[in-house]
Every structure is written in C-alpha cells, then in structure tokens.
C-alpha cells in the first residue's frame, strides 16, 4: 500500500456537510460525482496528498443510507492507494483478509476499487484503490 488516498465520510445532507467541510478545511469541494452502482453521490476535497470524500446516499436502500441508519453519520472508510489492485487483493486474500468483492470495480475519481471487510481489518472498512491510467 502506498499511502492513504482518501477518507470516506457518510453524510445525511450533502448540502449541509459540504458547507461544513469547506469551512472546516478552508478548501472548496473540487468535484462531485455520482456512482450509480453504489447509489451514492460523492464530493471531494483535497488537503495536501490526502482527499476527503463525502458520501450521500442517492437511494433510501443504498449502502450509505443503511450505514447511517445503523451507525449515524461519520467515518465510513479509509482508502489506501495501491499500485496493482489485483496483486494487493491476492496478497490480502492469501493472508486471510476478507474482501467484499472478487473483482475490482470502478469507483469514483477514476479509480478501480475493492473493499476489505471491517471484520478482518480491526473494525474499519478499508478501500483499496488504484488510479486508472488515462
């Protein structure tokens, strides 16, 4: 793993939270993106090398809506940038980590992503992400 690429935060209201984080970070949101497959709207902020990704559910049945129902708003996942996501998935699998998907899929921000189950990662949902080279 190369570095923490971003931190994902589940929010109820994108409008409210975006304003809050703009004030908090002193940086504007530089991108919104809808990820249809995850039923989620995202907003990105950049601070140094690390980004903050706000996640708002676009569907009451979506994973973020369910997460907020159970745990409330807040930290949702930590994403690590990797050079070769398939190799990293193999490495983690061989060491007993439970992955939430068999194949990487396309996430927000031009990334291939895969989630690692929080039960095998100290209670934290981890995301592996590899930048898709244009």
Residues in contact with Zn ion by CB under 5 A are 8, 53, 79, 127
Q: Which is nearer to Zn ion, 74 or 94 (CB)?
A: 74
Which residue lies nearest Zn ion, judged by its C-beta?
A: 8
Q: Which is nearer to Zn ion, 68 or 79 (CB)?
A: 79
N- to C-terminal Cα separation, the chain: 21
Burial classification of residue 10, based on how many CB atoms lie within 10 Å of its CB (0-12 exposed, 13-18 middle, 19 or more buried): buried
Q: Which is nearer to Zn ion, 51 or 96 (CB)?
A: 51
Q: Which is nearer to Zn ion, 8 or 104 (CB)?
A: 8
Residues with Cβ within 8 Å of residue 119, at least 6 apart in sequence: 98
Residue 8 CB, shortest distance to Zn ion, in Å, is: 4
Residue 95 CB, shortest distance to Zn ion, in Å, is: 22
Residue 115 CB, shortest distance to Zn ion, in Å, is: 9
Find out whether 55 and 73 touch, Cβ atoms under 8 Å: no
């Amino acid at each position: 793993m190369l570095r923490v690429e971003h931190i994902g935060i589940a929010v109820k209201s994108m409008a409210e939270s975006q304003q809050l984080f703009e004030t908090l970070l002193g940086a504007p949101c530089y991108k919104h993106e809808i990820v249809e497959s995850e039923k989620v709207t995202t907003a990105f902020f950049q601070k140094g090398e690390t980004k903050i990704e706000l996640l708002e559910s676009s569907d009451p049945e979506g994973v973020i809506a369910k997460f907020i129902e159970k745990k409330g708003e807040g930290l949702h996942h930590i994403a690590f940038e990797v050079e070769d996501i398939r190799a990293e998935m193999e490495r983690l699998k061989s060491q007993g980590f439970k992955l939430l998907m068999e194949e990487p899929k396309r996430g927000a921000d031009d990334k291939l992503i895969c989630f690692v189950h929080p039960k095998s990662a100290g209670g934290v949902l981890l995301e592996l992400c590899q930048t898709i080279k244009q």
